[in-house]
C-alpha cells in the first residue's frame, strides 16, 4: 500500500510517499525557516500563507521523486492535530480535497503519533516500550502499547522543552530554531559554569513523571548571573551548555523513573528535540537499555512519519470522514490528563 502523507502543522511544508509503513519512496520537506528567522520564532500568519503557496509544488515534487502518478497512490493522509490552526488547515484541506477528487481513502493523523512512528520507519520495534516525545510544542513520556495506544505517564506542566530552547536562544539573540544553535554552542561550553535548577514538581502527588521548563527558562534568561559558579566566564557557550545539561537532566530524570517503575527496557524517542546530541549521549551511556532514535532527518517534521503511521490505521480499515477538521490542541498532552481519548479524531 503506497500512502501519500502530508504534514503542515508548523513551519515545514512536507509530503512523502511511503510503502507499507516502512519504505520511504520519496520525502520532500520545504522548510520555512528563512521566513521566520528574522522574527526569531514562527509567525503563524506567514506559516499558513507559505503552506498555501507551497503545498501543491511540494506534493508534485514528492510524486515526481517517487516516479509515481496520483493514480498509483493507494491512500492519502494529512496531519490534522495538534499544531498551528491556519497551518494545519492548509495540509488537511489539501489532502481531503485530493483524496475526494481522486476517490482515494483519506485518514487524518495526530502529529505526535507521527513523531513516535519516525523511529519505526527504519527499525522493527516491539511494543510495549517507553516513548519520549519531545518537540517545539510537547514533552511527553508515555507507555506505548501500540502505534495508536499511548498511556501518558508524564507531560510538561508549562513550556515544552523545545519551547525553552527556542526562548533562551531568542533572548540571547543566538538564532532560530533555538535547539539547533544551542546544541552547537553547548559543545564548546562548560556545563558546570552555571548550576540551573531542575524543577521538583515530580515530588507532588500525581506528578511523578511530569516536568517543568518555564522556571529553568526564566532562570537562564533573567537570572543567569545568580547561578554563576565561581571562576567561570559568562559566555553564550557556557550558558548554552549549562542550560542544555539541565533541560536534558529534567527529561532523563523522569524518563529513568518511568523505566524503573514499568520495568520496560526499550525507549523510543521522537520530535525535533530528539535530534539533541546531549540527550542522545546520555541515553547511549545506559547500556542496559535499548534506546532508539530516528535518524536526524526524521526527527523534525516530515511527511514520511505521517504516511508511515497512516498505513497502520488504513490497514485496520479506518478512514476519516470529509467533515474532519483541524484541532490546534490535544488537551491531555498539555495538561497531563491521563485520559486516552484522542481529541480531534474523526
Interface positions with ligand KG4 (CB under 6 A): 10, 135-137, 162, 165-166, 177-180, 183, 271-273, 275-276, 300-301
Question: Which is nearer to Zn ion, 110 or 191 (by Cβ)?
Answer: 110
Q: Which partner from the list Zn ion, ligand KG4, none does 275 bind, CB cut-off 5 to 8 Å by kind?
A: ligand KG4
Pairing between β-strand 129-134 and β-strand 106-110 as defined by DSSP bridges: unpaired
Q: Which partner from the list Zn ion, ligand KG4, none does 162 bind, CB cut-off 5 to 8 Å by kind?
A: ligand KG4
Copy the grid coordinates of residue 310: 497512516
Distance CA(116)–CA(293), nearest Å, equals: 10
Cβ–Cβ < 8 Å for 128, 264: yes
Is residue 108 helix, strand or coil? strand
Distance CA(252)–CA(250), nearest Å, equals: 6
Q: Which partner from the list ligand KG4, Zn ion, none does 179 bind, CB cut-off 5 to 8 Å by kind?
A: ligand KG4
Distance CA(139)–CA(115), nearest Å, equals: 12
Cβ–Cβ < 8 Å for 210, 142: no
Q: Which partner from the list Zn ion, ligand KG4, none does 21 bind, CB cut-off 5 to 8 Å by kind?
A: none
Question: Which is nearer to ligand KG4, 275 or 282 (by Cβ)?
Answer: 275
Question: Which is nearer to Zn ion, 158 or 301 (by Cβ)?
Answer: 301
Minimal distance in Å, beta carbon 125 to ligand KG4?
Answer: 19
Question: Which is nearer to ligand KG4, 102 or 296 (by Cβ)?
Answer: 296
Q: Which partner from the list Zn ion, ligand KG4, none does 180 bind, CB cut-off 5 to 8 Å by kind?
A: ligand KG4
Distance CA(16)–CA(192), nearest Å, equals: 42
Question: Which is nearer to ligand KG4, 73 or 299 (by Cβ)?
Answer: 299
Minimal distance in Å, beta carbon 251 to Zn ion?
Answer: 16
Minimal distance in Å, beta carbon 83 to Zn ion?
Answer: 8
Footprint on this chain of Zn ion (rule: CB under 5 A): 135, 301
Query: CA 54, 102, 69: angle at the middle one, nearest 5?
Result: 65
Measured CA to CA in angstroms, residue 147 lies from 155, 336, 344 at distances of 19, 20, 17
Amino acid at each position: 500500500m503506497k500512502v501519500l502523507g502530508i504534514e503542515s502543522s508548523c513551519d515545514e511544508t512536507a509530503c512523502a510517499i511511503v510503502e507499507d509503513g516502512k519504505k520511504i519512496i520519496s520525502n520532500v520537506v520545504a522548510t520555512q525557516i528563512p521566513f521566520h528567522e528574522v522574527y526569531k520564532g514562527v509567525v503563524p500568519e506567514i506559516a499558513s500563507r507559505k503552506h498555501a503557496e507551497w503545498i501543491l509544488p511540494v506534493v508534485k515534487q514528492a510524486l515526481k521523486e517517487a516516479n509515481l502518478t496520483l493514480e498509483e497512490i493507494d491512500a492519502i493522509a494529512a496531519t490534522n492535530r495538534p499544531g498551528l490552526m491556519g497551518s494545519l488547515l492548509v495540509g488537511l484541506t489539501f489532502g481531503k480535497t485530493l483524496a475526494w477528487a481522486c476517490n482515494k481513502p483519506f485518514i487524518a493523523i495526530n502529529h505526535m503519533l507521527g513523531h513516535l512512528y519516525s523511529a519505526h520507519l527504519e527499525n522493527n520495534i516491539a511494543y510495549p516500550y517507553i516513548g519520549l516525545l519531545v518537540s517545539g510544542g510537547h514533552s511527553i513520556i508515555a507507555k506505548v502499547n501500540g502505534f495508536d495506544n499511548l498511556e501518558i505517564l508524564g507531560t510538561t506542566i508549562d513550556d515544552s522543552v523545545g519551547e525553552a530552547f527556542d526562548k533562551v536562544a531568542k533572548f540571547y539573540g543566538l538564532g532560530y530554531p533555538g535547539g539547533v544553535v544551542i546544541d552547537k554552542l553547548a559543545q564548546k561550553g562548560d556545563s558546570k559554569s552555571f548550576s540551573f535548577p531542575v524543577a521538583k514538581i515530580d515530588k507532588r502527588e500525581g506528578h511523578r513523571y511530569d516536568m517543568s521548563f518555564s522556571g529553568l527558562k526564566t532562570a537562564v534568561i533573567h537570572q543567569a548571573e545568580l547561578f554563576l559558579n565561581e571562576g567561570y566566564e559568562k559566555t553564550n557557550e557556557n550558558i548554552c551548555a549549562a542550560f542544555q545539561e539541565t533541560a536534558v537532566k529534567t527529561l532523563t530524570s523522569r524518563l529513568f523513573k518511568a523505566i524503573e517503575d514499568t520495568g520496560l527496557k526499550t525507549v523510543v524517542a521522537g520530535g525535533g528535540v530528539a535530534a539533541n546530541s546531549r540527550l542522545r549521549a546520555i541515553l547511549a551511556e545506559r547500556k542496559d537499555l535499548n534506546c532508539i532514535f530516528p535518524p536526524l532527518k526524521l526527527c523534525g517534521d516530515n511527511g514520511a512519519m505521517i504516511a508511515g503511521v497512516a498505513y497502520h490505521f488504513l490497514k485496520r480499515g479506518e478512514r476519516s470522514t470529509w467533515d474532519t477538521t483541524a484541532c490546534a490542541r490535544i488537551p491531555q498532552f498539555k495538561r497531563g490528563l491521563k485520559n486516552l481519548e484522542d481529541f480531534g479524531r474523526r
